[in-house]
Amino acid sequence: MRALAELTTLRLGGPPRRYVEAGDEAAIVAAVRAADADGEPLLVLAGGSNVVVADEGFPGTVLRIVSRGVLDDGRGGLVVQAGEPWDPLVAATVRAGLAGFECLSGIPGSVGATPIQNVGAYGQEVAETIVAVRAYDRLTGTVEERPGAECGFTYRSSVFKRTPGRWIVLAVSFRLIPGGRSAPIRYAELARSLGLAEGDRAPVADVRGAVLGLRRSKGMVLDPADPDSVSAGSFFTNPVLDDAAFAGLERRARERLGPDVRVPRFPQPDGTVKTSAAWLIERAGFTRGYGDPAAIAISSKHTLALTNRGAGTTAALVALAREIAAGVREAFGVELEPEPVFVGHAW
């Protein structure tokens, strides 16, 4: 089998022991049951845009989900098979004047992976529109329809991500809002680029256009002509801190950067505070382009993305990520957590 580097957006990862593709629900369930009956390690892969696969590859079966199908009730209700590519679905819903996905334009990968880390961008999360997730439970051997409210969605996580490998997503049901107007814009940079205030609404097509423009300027849209897009997107999640930890960060920031420094602060509904991983990385001394320009380096457009410039290896990528995390820990006492899923090795 070919190396997993051919199936990941980072273009990294060695070969799997076995490789199968499954094009519909029955084939997916059969392939998972067969691997489990043999006691074979299993990796489910779709778009390969959120994985960091070891150079040694994967010592088991890689099951690539390529199922297709969209059921549309014409009133904003959709049931979408897991292997459907995400962004063409967003484009089609925006053309149909449906609101709910517009800020999630340009995110690579499959529909089935969106609930795994509750994909989000520009103030919107997929959890807001998910009605139910149809999934095969490897523990019970049954297919279940799990309501969105029971998926344990949090910032870049879900019950699926917290219990790796247990559920295989087969299809996702969504509820979008007809009428052509976007949800209220909740992200300052996006509002600015639309010439609006936060909380305003705009035609969904305008929002999609603005989001794609912003994402392109950061190398966050997959583009064969853009070496900065050879990444797994944001490599680290934004740290979520309690009051005491945030006060500690502010104190360290003042010591390091002066008394007037303002640490990015986004209060969360549960009383915690989210801060910006990119801000911490930059203030710890890691600049855009830092690293080996022929192998692994920070994107030249966005500090949060680590990129493979051609001759990279996963070992070198993880070494750079650890160097950045150690630098931020030393400068600010904050622990960065990787966003992508590590396969065949651990963080």
Ligand X SMILES: Cc1cc2nc3c(=O)[nH]c(=O)nc-3n(C[C@H](O)[C@H](O)[C@H](O)COP(=O)(O)OP(=O)(O)OC[C@H]3O[C@@H](n4cnc5c(N)ncnc54)[C@H](O)[C@@H]3O)c2cc1C
Q: How far is the CB of 116 from ligand X (least distance, A)?
A: 4
Q: What is the spatial distance between Cα 179 and Cα 136, in angstroms, rounded to a whole number?
A: 34
Within 89-108, the residues that bind ligand X by CB under 6 A are 107-108
Within 214-233, the residues that bind ligand X by CB under 6 A are 220, 222, 229, 231-233
Query: In the complex with ligand X, which residue's Cβ is closer, 57 or 233?
Result: 233
Query: In the complex with ligand X, which residue's Cβ is closer, 220 or 328?
Result: 220
Q: How far is the CB of 308 from ligand X (least distance, A)?
A: 11
Q: How far is the CB of 121 from ligand X (least distance, A)?
A: 4
- State yes or no: residue 9 binds ligand X (CB under 6 A): yes
Q: How far is the CB of 104 from ligand X (least distance, A)?
A: 7
Mode of pairing for the β-strands spanning 77-81 and 167-175 = antiparallel
Query: In the complex with ligand X, which residue's Cβ is closer, 275 or 299?
Result: 299
Q: Using the 8-state DSSP alphabet, how is residue 131 labeled? A: E
The H-assigned helical ranges of the chain are 25-37, 86-95, 159-162, 188-194, 204-217, 243-257, 277-283, 314-332
Query: In the complex with ligand X, which residue's Cβ is closer, 58 or 290?
Result: 58
- Residues with Cβ < 8 Å from 184, sequence gap 6 or more? 198, 199, 200, 201
**Buried-state track 27-42, b at ≥16 Cβ within 10 A, e below 16:** bbbebbeebeeeeebb
Q: How far is the CB of 168 from ligand X (least distance, A)?
A: 4
Q: What is the spatial distance between Cα 116 and Cα 119, in angstroms, rounded to a whole number?
A: 8
SS3 231: coil
Each residue 35-74 as x (binds ligand X by CB under 6 A) or -, in order, gives --------xxxxxxxxx-------------x---------
Query: Site for ligand X (CB under 6 A): which residue of 82, 176, 280, 281?
Result: 82
Rounded to 5 degrees, φ, ψ at 209 are -60, -45
Structure tokens at 324: 């950045």
Residues marked active site are found at 156, 234, 339
Mode of pairing for the β-strands spanning 51-53 and 58-65 = unpaired
Size of the site for ligand X (CB under 6 A): 33
- State yes or no: residue 306 binds ligand X (CB under 6 A): no
Q: How far is the CB of 42 from ligand X (least distance, A)?
A: 9
Cα atoms found within 13 Å of the Cα of residue 44, Cβ hemisphere only:
29
Q: What is the DSSP string of 262-281?
A: ----EE-TTS-EE--HHHHH
- State yes or no: residue 300 binds ligand X (CB under 6 A): no
Query: In the complex with ligand X, which residue's Cβ is closer, 246 or 303?
Result: 303
Query: Site for ligand X (CB under 6 A): which residue of 89, 90, 99, 169?
Result: 169
Q: Using the 8-state DSSP alphabet, how is residue 150 labeled? A: G
Within 109-168, the residues that bind ligand X by CB under 6 A are 109-110, 112-114, 116-117, 119-121, 168
Query: In the complex with ligand X, which residue's Cβ is closer, 109 or 312?
Result: 109
Q: How far is the CB of 228 from ligand X (least distance, A)?
A: 9
Q: What is the spatial distance between Cα 255 and Cα 38, in angstroms, rounded to a whole number?
A: 57
Chain positions contacting ligand X, by CB under 6 A: 9, 43-51, 65, 82, 107-110, 112-114, 116-117, 119-121, 168-169, 220, 222, 229, 231-233, 341
